């Protein structure tokens, strides 16, 4: 094994976003692009921590186009940058929650997760990379900020001249008398074991054998093999309960985002009137998101988090109760109401899973969630799609009522936080910035203004003060808070790769059971108008309708 230093020049666009660095595949294919970023990560680690001589790095991705090639490069660079061992998922594949679990279970120093999550794949699609720390969670801003700084001045990277590793074959390859080892593992079994340790598989098995009909949509992405092992091999469902469960490098040309727009095959099955099945679920490109559907019924992710929190003690892993909950700022306050009733703390963090890690490590929270179809617990430090699906199945199996009935009972008890998110994708960056600037320019005049039946109480740009490490994150989204607790939030996405994506988050509280059957778009119609009025979105972007409504 011979290490080399290759001269390079900085790229100026390697700033990690909400969840690592995401760019078009073509950007990543530029000479030295990936290498520069990976070296900036390794340099940051060596600067901020002591990397022990026997340090192991976990590496794996969602299997999208460019994954295999990137993995070979990363292995060679890890060898030259002081790692003694690399653990790789078979075929280079690890779902994001499985990667988090592997880092924790095998106590590796950290991990590189190759994914652009729900973004489209293929040669014209997106690629991404992020670093996770030893707790299994995404690196905090202290690390990501430093990676960016280093990427702006990098002059060279270190790489070893290793032969190509056969990542399809399980087992270990040893170099230089054990100075460097690559181990290829089957992470599916590790992950399935973890799930089996958390949930009551026997009660779920009984439910699935009782005529209860479910459908899981892998969206041609990473969760297929995990779903096969868990639902078919361990829980005994028929193979027909799984769809799109063979991973493909371009997600079969689809958009692996589990929502009502992109998971259309599943939505058709679940909204087929009398013919609809009892339970439907989907997961995204890298397996950390989930969508939950009942018979002709959609569960918003914010409500899903609240229901899981309210029913946690029905699940073996949480039978003694949960310590606290956390949600990202734009996520609805439904879980806050559950926390208040359970008398446990509820934390409000900025968008992105990296903000939950400290709270979990400190034992402050057990369950976390985001409105963007992400929920999880302290079993890993990432959101976890299949975990959420199993949690729901466990609750349904114990309660023995439908998804819709669970929600109706929940809303009757806690009231309903009617919620929706409207995304305007790929709008010109200048126009998007103009919308945000225009809203901010009204910060002084908005309070006390009346819009139809709503009166503005306050507005601000959300800041988060991390109670564990004291760090402060500013400019995390504009909030317009109304007198009655309703909210409109405006945010620019930090994961897109084309122009800007503007997200509008709408929330209104309704305690009245009579209205609980209403479609969210109908119930929120007035707020939607107000959001467009305050933002001048149509005038400034020329867009007359959102790209995606969730
Ligand atoms: C989006 C979601 C956010 C999630 C992230 C990664 O980020 O909104 O909740 O954590 O993807 O899955 P955004 O594009 O809004 O920055
Ligand atoms: Zn994802």
Task: Answer for the pair 497, 120: CB distance below 8 angstroms, yes or no.
Answer: no
Q: How far is CA 59 from CA 72, 74, 85, 334, 405, in A?
A: 10, 8, 11, 36, 42
CA of 119 to the centre of ligand 2 (A): 8
Give me the pLDDT at residue 532, please.
97
The Cα–Cα gap between 280 and 266 comes to 7
Atom 10 of ligand 1, nearest CA residue: 352
Average pLDDT over residues 221-225: 97
Residues 6 or more apart whose CB falls under 8 angstroms from that of 484 comprise 454, 508, 509
Give the Cα-Cα-Cα angle 242, 247, 252 (nearest 5 degrees): 95
Atom index in ligand 1 nearest the CA of residue 18 equals: 16
Give me the pLDDT at residue 525, please.
95
Give me the pLDDT at residue 497, please.
80
In order of their start, the domains of the chain are 3-185 (3.40.120.10), 190-414 (3.40.120.10), 416-549 (3.30.310.50)
pLDDT of 58 higher than 90: yes
CA of 46 to the centre of ligand 2 (A): 28
The Cα–Cα gap between 289 and 370 comes to 10
The pair of three-digit structure tokens given for residue 445, joined into one six-digit string:
């005049």
Q: Which residues of 170-200 are buried (b: 16+ CB within 10 A; e: fewer)?
A: eeebeeeeeebbbebbebbebbbebbeebbb
CA of 493 to the centre of ligand 1 (A): 7
3-state SS, residue 185 = strand
Give me the pLDDT at residue 159, please.
98
The Cα–Cα gap between 317 and 442 comes to 47
Answer yes or no: is the C-beta of 424 below 6 A from any ligand 1 atom.
no
The Cα–Cα gap between 147 and 332 comes to 32
Strands 110-114 and 56-61 turn out to be parallel
Report pTM.
0.94
Average pLDDT over residues 130-155: 96
Answer yes or no: is the C-beta of 119 below 6 A from any ligand 1 atom.
no
Residues 190-213: pLDDT tens digits? 999 999 999 999 999 999 999 999
Residue 350: pLDDT band by 50, 70, 90 thresholds? very high
The pair of three-digit structure tokens given for residue 315, joined into one six-digit string:
């699940």
Task: Answer for the pair 442, 534: CB distance below 8 angstroms, yes or no.
Answer: yes
The Cα–Cα gap between 251 and 266 comes to 15
Average pLDDT over residues 231-247: 97
Give me the chain's average pLDDT, please. Answer: 96
């Amino acid at each position: 094994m011979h290490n080399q230093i290759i001269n390079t020049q900085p790229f100026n666009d390697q700033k990690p976003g909400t969840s690592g660095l995401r760019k078009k595949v073509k950007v990543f294919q530029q000479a030295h692009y990936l290498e520069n970023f990976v070296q900036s990560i390794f340099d940051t680690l060596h600067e901020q921590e002591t990397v022990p001589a026997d340090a192991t790095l976990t590496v794996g991705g969602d299997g999208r186009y460019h994954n295999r090639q990137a993995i070979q490069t990363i292995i060679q660079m890890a060898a030259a940058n002081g790692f003694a061992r690399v653990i790789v998922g078979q075929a280079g594949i690890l779902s994001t929650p499985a990667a988090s679990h592997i880092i924790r279970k095998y106590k590796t120093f950290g991990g590189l997760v190759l994914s652009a999550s729900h973004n489209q794949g293929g040669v014209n699609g997106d690629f991404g990379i992020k670093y996770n720390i030893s707790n299994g969670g995404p690196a905090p801003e202290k690390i990501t900020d430093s990676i960016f700084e280093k990427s702006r001045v990098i002059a060279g990277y270190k790489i070893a001249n290793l032969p190509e590793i056969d990542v399809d074959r399980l087992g270990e390859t040893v170099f230089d008398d054990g100075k460097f080892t690559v181990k290829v593992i089957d992470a599916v079994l590790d992950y399935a074991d973890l799930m089996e340790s958390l949930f009551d598989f026997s009660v779920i098995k009984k439910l699935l054998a009782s005529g209860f009909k479910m459908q899981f949509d892998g969206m041609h992405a990473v969760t297929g093999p995990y779903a096969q092992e868990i639902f078919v091999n361990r829980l005994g469902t028929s193979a027909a309960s799984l769809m799109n469960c063979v991973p493909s490098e371009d997600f079969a040309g689809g958009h692996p985002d589990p929502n009502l727009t992109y998971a259309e095959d599943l939505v058709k099955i679940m909204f087929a009137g009398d013919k609809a099945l009892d339970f439907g679920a989907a997961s995204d490109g890298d397996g950390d998101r989930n969508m939950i559907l009942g018979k002709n019924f959609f569960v918003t992710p914010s409500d899903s988090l609240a229901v899981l929190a309210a029913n946690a003690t029905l699940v073996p892993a949480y039978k003694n109760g949960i310590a606290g909950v956390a949600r990202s700022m734009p996520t609805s306050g439904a879980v806050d109401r559950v926390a208040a009733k359970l008398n446990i703390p509820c934390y409000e963090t900025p968008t992105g899973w990296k903000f939950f890690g400290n709270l979990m490590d400190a034992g402050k929270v057990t369950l976390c969630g985001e409105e963007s179809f992400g929920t999880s617990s302290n079993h890993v430090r990432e959101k976890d799609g299949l975990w959420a699906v199993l949690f729901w199945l466990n609750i349904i199996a114990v309660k023995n009522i439908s998804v819709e009935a669970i929600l109706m009972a929940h809303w009757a008890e806690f009231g309903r936080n009617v919620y929706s998110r409207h995304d305007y994708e790929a709008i010109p960056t200048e126009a998007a910035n103009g919308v945000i600037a225009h809203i901010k320019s009204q910060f002084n005049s908005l309070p006390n203004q009346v819009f139809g039946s709503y009166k503005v109480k306050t507005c601000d740009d959300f800041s988060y003060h991390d109670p564990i490490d004291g760090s402060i994150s500013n400019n995390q989204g504009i909030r317009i808070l109304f007198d009655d607790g309703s909210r409109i939030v405006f945010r620019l996405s930090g994961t897109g790769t084309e122009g800007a994506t503007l997200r509008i988050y709408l929330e209104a509280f309704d305690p009245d059971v009579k209205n609980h059957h209403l479609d969210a778009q109908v119930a929120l119609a007035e707020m939607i108008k107000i959001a467009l009025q305050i933002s001048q979105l149509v005038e400034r972007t020329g867009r007359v309708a959102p790209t995606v409504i969730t």
